[in-house]
């Protein structure tokens, strides 16, 4: 296996791993429609809580960061390939983002928590910074990780520590989901998701600082591409081993602090700002543990075979992401089987495993016959339409 193919395979494996993690979490959440079935026995409630806490600890806020990191990496790869041909990819990239936004709006009909539209908009910010030096890019990324928009909120909270805290604005829109998701009208659900639901998700991402984290991950992915650290080599292996050590230590230090912060800060206003700024750091640390660990294990024969099982899912990540929204909403929402009424975390977890196996089997079958996934093929053809 040459360096180039190894790099592409490990990227696909990482994407596949992330899409499976997302599948698990979205099923537990009933695809953003939180509901606890009544009259569950106590042992089932305990089991549900254990599964919920474990999966969210392992994967929540990590999977979307992996995708964002690889998004920036893919931007570099495509830009570099076009640059070798003497072409500037940035204009084509804008068109590619327009197409991604369209896919995201389609996905939003079925699942209001869509991330594709957000990636498409934030991705535009890569255009003006694409030619900056690595040092400047890393500086911008670090600034984003410090949540600059929250600084004003923290300053205001410090000046007014007794300020009464109200529910985030996004909660108002999330509450309106009860008006359309439980009913049996698909059209009402789709309209509700793409209007009310879209507002809720955009506000929630803003309130939790995710826009800045996503942009930071885009930049780190771009720099990673320049540095070729996803290409198998002695230097990249050393780099990822160092990342694994540092990120593991960072998580061990940061996570207990994260858990203790609410008890340390008396002011609710200050606590909200501090936790919004601080909490993503432990998530990023654990995300880097996943990425570095998978890259390192990917080099061994035994684990290489295991992680290669994720690769077809990763090559078809766009198709899988939209497909799981269509399937999930049909299973859990009122216009479908309305299983939200009956499934706690345990049953939803089992359903997620079944859906993962089915989609994995489909992806392996498709990958043997076609170069691109269904939506990936459409995206590719439209991206390069009228190109010479």
* pLDDT for 32 beyond 90: yes
Summarised one tens digit per residue, pLDDT across range 267-303 is 999 999 999 999 999 999 999 999 999 999 999 988 9
* Alpha-helix residue ranges (DSSP H) falling in the chain: 3-28, 42-59, 63-84, 90-110, 116-123, 126-129, 134-145, 148-159, 169-175, 186-192, 198-207, 210-227, 234-264, 268-297, 301-308, 311-315, 317-332, 345-367, 374-383
What's the pLDDT at 39? 85
What's the pLDDT at 65? 95
pLDDT tier at 386 (50, 70, 90 boundaries)?
confident
Residue from 287, 308, 286 nearest 297 by CA: 308
What's the pLDDT at 7? 45
Kindly state the average pLDDT of the residues 120-132. 96
Kindly state the average pLDDT of the residues 358-372. 95
Q: Which residues lie closer than 8 Å to 150 by C-beta, 6 or more apart?
A: 209, 273, 276, 277
Q: Are 1 and 329 in contact (CB under 8 A)?
A: no
* pLDDT for 5 beyond 70: no
Q: Are 50 and 15 in contact (CB under 8 A)?
A: no
Q: What one-character-per-residue DSSP string does 112-126 give? A: TT--HHHHHHHHTTH
* pLDDT for 137 beyond 80: yes
Q: Are 211 and 201 in contact (CB under 8 A)?
A: no
| Nearest-angstrom CA–CA distance, 232 and 297 | 12
Summarised one tens digit per residue, pLDDT across range 172-219 is 999 999 999 999 999 999 999 999 999 999 999 999 999 999 999 999
Q: What is the mean pLDDT of the chain?
A: 94
């Amino acid at each position: 296996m040459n360096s180039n193919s190894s790099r592409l395979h490990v990227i696909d494996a990482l994407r596949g791993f992330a899409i499976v993690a997302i599948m698990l979490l979205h099923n537990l959440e009933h695809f953003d429609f939180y509901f606890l079935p009544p009259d569950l026995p106590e042992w089932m409630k305990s089991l549900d809580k254990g599964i919920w806490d474990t999966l969210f600890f392992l994967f929540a806020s990590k999977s979307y960061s992996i995708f964002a990191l690889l998004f920036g990496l893919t931007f570099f790869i495509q830009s570099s390939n076009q640059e070798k041909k003497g072409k500037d990819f940035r204009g084509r990239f804008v068109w590619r983002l327009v197409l991604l936004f369209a896919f995201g709006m389609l996905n939003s009909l079925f699942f209001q928590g869509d991330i594709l539209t957000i990636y498409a908009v934030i991705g535009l910010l890569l255009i003006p910074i694409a030619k900056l030096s690595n040092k400047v890019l890393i500086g911008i990324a670090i600034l984003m990780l410090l949540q600059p928009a929250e600084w004003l909120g923290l300053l205001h909270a410090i000046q007014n520590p007794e300020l009464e805290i109200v529910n985030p604005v996004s909660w108002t829109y999330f509450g309106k989901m009860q008006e359309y998701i439980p009913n049996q009208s698909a059209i009402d659900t789709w309209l509700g998701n793409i209007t009310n639901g879209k507002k809720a998700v955009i506000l929630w991402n803003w309130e939790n600082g995710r826009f800045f984290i996503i942009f930071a991950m885009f930049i780190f992915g771009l720099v990673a591409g320049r540095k070729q650290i996803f290409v198998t080599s002695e230097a990249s292996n050393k780099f990822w081993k160092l990342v694994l050590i540092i990120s593991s230590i960072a998580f061990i230090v940061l996570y207990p602090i994260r858990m203790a912060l609410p008890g340390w800060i008396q002011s609710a206003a200050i606590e909200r700002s501090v936790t919004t700024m601080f909490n993503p750091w432990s998530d990023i640390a654990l995300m880097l543990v996943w990425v570095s660990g998978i890259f390192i294990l990917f080099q061994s024969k035994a684990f290489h075979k295991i992680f290669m099982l994720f690769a077809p899912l990763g090559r078809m990540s766009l198709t899988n992401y939209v497909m799981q929204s269509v399937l999930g909403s049909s299973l859990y929402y009122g216009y479908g089987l309305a299983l939200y009424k009956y499934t706690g975390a345990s049953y939803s977890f089992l359903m997620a495993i079944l859906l993962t196996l089915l989609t994995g089997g489909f992806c392996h079958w498709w990958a043997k016959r076609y170069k691109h996934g269904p939506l990936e093929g459409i995206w590719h053809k439209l991206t390069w339409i009228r190109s010479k």
